[in-house]
């Protein structure tokens, strides 16, 4: 009887221990207790599944039309995607501050439903380019609006957890989505997959339309957007570069883009050309990169309580950079571990940057700042992709090492020049000491040296 009671107690303690670990590791799930955010999150998840269907279907369609030149078609489509983001996201963000955000989200879903519904009827490559640019033009309007809507729905206090859950879902579906979409394509056909894609956008639009009330910000006198559209776009960018923590985060996203582009562009060449691995191994390697980002997003709730936002960004930049540097010198198994770490580092750079905007920018103008951030962060990738392609073609056996050195150089420059007060890093410190000896004039000695910056004790650290 005593043994049974002891066993029951042990089991109870073990259950409490497991529950504590889960609650500590997954605090972001608490955000789903908000019914409005839960519906918005479900709509986003369905849209992300639709995006996976889009790009798998597009790859198969490009091969049907272009054969061996399908890679050129896809690379051009990716370039058009980034171009749409860079030029249209700032405008989208400004409109999100002036119009009902729920209306924008519903319209962008419905228009994208129509566009992907046209893709099965494509018969020429130029038609792919036109439709892909149009699709991503409305993606450029959707994403900043969604990012600005989440803090409006859940409030600033719960926004980090809600954003962490959205980011984890994005990363997880980035890993699982193509596999799911590939299985669907086998069952119903390459072109028919776009009809299912269109249906996903329709379902997401209905979910958002069913949300109660409007989602339009009420500006106060200090933030009311009375200026013209172009002035508001400029103001959104100005906020990025005048706020010290946000400016630091945006600069570190350049580091993450340089490293991330190396991984996305050059992994397949290194794995197949240098390590002589197959398609299955390539899938595992890229899955490790996505899983690392997913786990990092889920761990943000715990990490957020231990480190400041800017320290998390620094940790992420260091982690992803130093994961890339030795990659050319290792085999398949160590590369799995390095890409897992690199994915985690990427997420810890990008995720806190979005949270900083919600915390430091008035809600009435957050849309414009999110739009500007979306454009600038994608501009970094537009610069990083060609760099990665040049390194991969010029130095196929050392592209990761050279790319890591470039990333490390940017990281060092950003840390030395843009790190805000309170970021763990290298800062100059000056101390003056008076030397007062009897019979001699007082001398002042100034010491100037590097030191590790301490975190200032404030209610909210950055």
In the predicted model, what is the mean pLDDT of residues 454-459? 32
Contact criterion met (CB below 8 Å) for 342 and 263: yes
Structure-block tokens of residue 8: 């029951």
Per-residue pLDDT averaged across 277-288, rounded?
Answer: 78
126: exposed, middle or buried (C-beta count within 10 Å: 0-12, 13-18, 19+)? Answer: exposed
Residue 215 confidence (pLDDT): 67
3-state DSSP call for residue 446?
Answer: strand
Q: Which helix (H) or strand (E) holds 433?
A: strand 426-435
Per the model's pLDDT, the better-predicted residue between 399 and 452 turns out to be: 399
Cβ within 8 Å of residue 9, ≥6 positions away: none
Q: What pLDDT shows up at residue 175?
A: 64
Structure tokens at 126: 């130029």
What is the model's pLDDT at position 219? 54
Helices (H), 221-331: 229-242, 244-269, 279-306, 309-324
pLDDT band with cut points at 50, 70 and 90 for residue 304: low
Reduce the DSSP state of residue 233 to 3 states and report it. helix
- Looking at the predicted structure, is the pLDDT value of residue 259 above 70? yes
The predicted-structure confidence for 212-231, as pLDDT tens digits, reads as follows 766 665 555 444 444 556 66
356-389 pLDDT tens trace: 887 888 777 777 788 788 888 888 988 888 888 8
* Geometric angle at alpha carbon 117, from 116 and 121, rounded to 5°: 100
Q: What is the predicted pLDDT for the residue at 407?
A: 96
Residues 6+ apart with CB under 8 A from 63: 70
Helix and strand numbers (H, E) in the chain are 14, 2
Dihedral angle computed from the Cα positions of residues 360, 363, 364 and 368, in that order, rounded to the nearest 10 degrees: 70
- Residues of the chain with pLDDT > 90: what percent? 23
- If one compares 151 and 208, the residue with the highest pLDDT of the two is 208
pLDDT of 202? 94
Q: Cα Rg for the chain, rounded, in angstroms?
A: 25
CATH superfamily, with its number, for domain 27-213: MFS general substrate transporter like domains (1.20.1250.20)
CA torsion through residues 64, 66, 71, 74, sign:
negative
pLDDT greater at residue 71 or residue 461: 71
Q: Among residues 366, 357, 378, 355, which one has the least CA distance to residue 139?
A: 378
* Helix, strand, or coil (residue 180): helix
Indicate if the pLDDT at residue 353 is higher than 90: no
Model pLDDT, residue 18: 40
Q: Which tens digits make up the pLDDT trace of 107-124?
A: 999 999 999 999 999 988
Segment 162-180, tens digit of pLDDT: 877 877 777 777 766 766 7
* Chain-centre distance for alpha carbon 10: 42
- Alpha-carbon distance 20 to 46, whole Å? 30
DSSP string covering 434-455? EE--TTS--EEEEEEEEEEPPP
Q: Report the C-alpha gap between 443 and 241 in whole angstroms.
A: 41
Most confident among 157-161, 212-216, 226-230, 403-407 (mean pLDDT): 403-407
Residue 444 burial (CB < 10 Å; 0-12/13-18/19+)? exposed
- pLDDT of 248 higher than 60: yes
pLDDT of residue 226: 44
Fold of 239-420: Growth Hormone; Chain: A; (1.20.1250)
pLDDT at residue 84 in the model: 85
CA distance 85 to 82: 5
pLDDT of residue 114: 95
The C-alpha angle 213, 215, 217, rounded to 5 degrees, equals 130
Query: Coil, helix or strand for 42?
Result: helix
Q: What angle do CA 297, 300, 301 make, to 5 degrees?
A: 125
Greater pLDDT, 422 or 12: 422
Nearest to 272 by CA among 283, 257, 261, 262: 283
- Please give the mean pLDDT across all residues of the chain: 77
Residue 181: per-residue pLDDT:
74
Other Cβ atoms within 10 Å of 129 Cβ, number: 15
User: What residue spans define the domains of the chain?
Assistant: 27-213, 239-420
Of 86 and 30, the structure prediction assigns the larger pLDDT to 86
Contact (CB, 8 A) for 119 and 153: no
Q: What is the pLDDT of residue 91?
A: 80
- Supply the pLDDT for residue 203: 94
Among 169, 152, 185, which Cα is nearest to 54's? 185
- Return the SS3 of 74: helix
Which string of DSSP letters, residue by residue, matches 333-372? HHHHHHHHHHHHHHHHHHHHHHHHHHHHS-GGGHHHHHHH
pLDDT at 141 (0 to 100): 85
């Amino acid at each position: 009887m005593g043994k049974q009671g002891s066993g029951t107690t042990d089991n109870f303690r073990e259950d409490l221990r497991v529950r504590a670990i889960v609650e500590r590791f997954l605090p972001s799930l608490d955000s789903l207790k908000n019914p409005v955010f839960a519906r918005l999150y479900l709509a986003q998840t369905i849209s992300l599944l639709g995006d996976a269907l889009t790009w798998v279907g597009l790859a198969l369609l490009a091969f049907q039309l272009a054969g061996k030149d399908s890679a050129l078609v896809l690379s051009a489509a990716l370039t058009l995607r980034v171009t749409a983001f860079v030029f249209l996201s700032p405008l989208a963000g400004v409109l999100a501050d002036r119009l009902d955000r729920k209306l924008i989200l519903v319209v962008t879903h419905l228009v994208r439903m129509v566009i992907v519904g046209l893709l099965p009827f494509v018969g020429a490559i130029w038609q792919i380019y036109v439709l892909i640019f149009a699709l991503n033009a409305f993606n450029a309007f959707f994403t900043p609006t969604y990012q600005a809507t989440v803090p409006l729905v859940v409030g600033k206090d719960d926004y980090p957890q809600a954003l962490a859950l959205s980011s984890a879902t994005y990363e997880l579906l980035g890993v699982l989505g193509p596999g799911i979409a590939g299985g669907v394509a086998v069952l119903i056909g390459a072109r028919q997959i776009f009809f299912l894609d269109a249906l996903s956008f329709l379902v997401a639009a209905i979910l958002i339309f069913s949300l109660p009330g409007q989602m339009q910000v009420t500006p106060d006198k200090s933030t009311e957007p009375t200026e013209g559209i172009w002035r508001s776009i400029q103001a959104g960018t100005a906020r990025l570069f005048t706020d010290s923590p946000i400016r630091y985060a945006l600069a570190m996203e350049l580091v993450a883009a340089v490293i991330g582009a190396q991984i996305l562009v050059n992994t397949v060449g290194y794995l197949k050309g240098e390590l002589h691995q197959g398609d299955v191994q390539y899938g595992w390697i890229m899955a490790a990169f996505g899983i690392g980002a997913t786990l990092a997003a889920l761990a943000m709730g715990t990490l957020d309580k231990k480190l400041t936002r800017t320290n998390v960004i620094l940790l992420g930049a260091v982690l992803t950079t130093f994961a890339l540097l030795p990659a050319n010198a290792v085999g398949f198994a160590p590369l799995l571990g390095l890409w897992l770490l690199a994915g985690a580092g990427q997420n810890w750079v990008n995720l806190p940057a979005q949270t900083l905007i919600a915390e430091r920018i008035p809600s009435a103008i957050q849309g414009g700042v999110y739009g500007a951030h979306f454009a600038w962060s994608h501009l970094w990738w537009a610069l990083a992709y060609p760099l990665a392609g040049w390194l991969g073609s010029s130095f196929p056996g050392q592209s990761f090492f050279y790319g890591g050195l470039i990333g490390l150089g940017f990281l060092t420059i950003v840390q030395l020049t843009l790190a805000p007060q309170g970021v763990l890093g290298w800062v100059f410190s000056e101390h003056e000491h008076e030397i007062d000896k009897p019979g001699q004039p007082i001398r002042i000695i100034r010491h100037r040296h590097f030191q590790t910056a301490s975190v200032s004790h404030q209610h909210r650290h950055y």
